[in-house]
Structure 1
Amino acid sequence: MQLDPWVLRWHGHFGVLASIFVIILIVTGIALNHTERLQLDAKFVGSGWLLDWYGIGADAPPVSFKVGKSWLTEVDGHLFLDSVSIPVFTGVLVGATRGESSILVGAPSALYLFDDDAQLIEKVSRVPGTIMRVGRLDEAYCIDSSEGVFSSKDGLLTWDRTDREPVWAVALEPPAKVMESVLLAFRG
Structure 2
Amino acid sequence: MTRKHPSFRVKLLRQLRPWHRRIGIFSTLLVMFIAISGVLINHSNHLALDSAQVKQSWLLDYYGIKAPTEISIYQQSPHKLVSAGNQVWLDEQLILEANSLVLAVTAYNNMLVAVDASHLYLMSAQGDLLETQDSATGLPPHIQSLGLQQHLWLKTQSGLFVADSDLIDWSETQPLAAIPWVKALDNANNAEVAEQIRSSRLHWERVLLDLHSGRFFGSFGPWLMDLVALSLIIMSLTGCYIWLQQKPAKVRKRKK
Instruction: Identify whether the pair has TM-score above 0.5, normalized to the shorter chain.
Output: yes
TM-score between both structures, scaled by the size of structure 1: 0.70
Aligned to 1:169: 182
Equivalent residue letter for 2:65: I
In structure 2, C-alpha distance between the alignment counterparts of 1:158 and 1:169, rounded to whole Å = 21
1:185 aligns to what? 200
Which residue is 1:144 aligned to?
155
Distance 2:116 2:107 in 1: 15
Q: Could you report, residue by residue, the CA deviation over 1:55-88 in whole angstroms, capped at 9, with x for unpaired residues?
A: 3123533222227633322234332112121146
Shift of 1:24: 6.9
Tell me the amino acid that sits aligned with residue 71 of structure 1: K
1:88–1:178 CA distance, 2 compared to 1 (3 A): same
**Contact 1:94–1:107 (CA under 8 A) maintained in structure 2:** yes
Counterpart Cα distance in 2 of 1:104 and 1:97: 5
CA–CA distance in structure 1, aligned partners of residues 38 and 119 of structure 2 = 45
Cα 1:72–1:186 change in 2 (3 A) is: farther
1:168–1:87 CA distance, 2 compared to 1 (3 A): closer
Q: Superposition pairs for residues 1-188 of structure 1, below 5 Å? A: 36-37=41-42, 39=44, 42=50, 44-66=53-75, 69-87=78-96, 89-126=98-135, 127-137=139-149, 139-164=150-175, 165-172=178-185, 174-175=188-189, 179=193, 180-188=195-203
Q: CA contact under 8 A between 1:65 and 1:171: conserved in structure 2?
A: yes
Alignment partner of 2:55: what SS? coil
Q: Where do 5+ consecutive residues of structure 2 fail to align?
A: 1-24, 204-256
Structure 1 unaligned spans of 5+: 1-19
The TM-score with structure 2 as length reference comes to 0.54
The alpha carbon displacement at 1:183 in A equals 3.6
Mapped partners of 2:132, 2:107: distance in 1: 16
Q: Which has the larger radius of gyration?
A: 2
Q: 1:119/1:178 Cα in 2 relative to 1: closer, same or farther (>3 Å)? A: farther
Secondary structure at the aligned position of 1:168 is classed as coil
CA contact (8 A) 1:113 1:120 kept: yes
- Which amino acid is the alignment partner of residue 42 of structure 2? R
Determine the C-alpha separation between the residues in 2 that align with 1:64 and 1:76.
12
Sequence identity percentage = 21
Q: Which moved more, 1:31-40 or 1:112-121?
A: 31-40
Q: Which one has a larger percent strand, Structure 1 or Structure 2? A: 1
**Contact 1:94 1:132 survives alignment (8 Å):** yes
Query: Which structure has the highest helix share of the two?
Result: 2
Aligned with 1:51: secondary structure?
Answer: helix
Q: Secondary structure at the match of 1:70?
A: coil
Assess, with a 3 A threshold, how the Cα gap between structure 1 residues 143 and 55 changes in structure 2: closer, same or farther.
same
Cα gap change, 1:76 to 1:95, in 2 (>3 Å): closer
Q: In structure 1, what is the Cα distance between the partners aligned to 2:146 and 2:76? A: 12
Instruction: Report which structure shows greater RCO (CA 8 Å, sep ≥6).
Output: 2
Relative to structure 1, the CA distance from residue 44 to residue 84 in structure 2 (aligned partners, 3 Å threshold; closer, same or farther) is: closer
User: Separation in 2 of the partners of 1:24 and 1:79?
Assistant: 44
How many equivalent pairs are there? Answer: 170
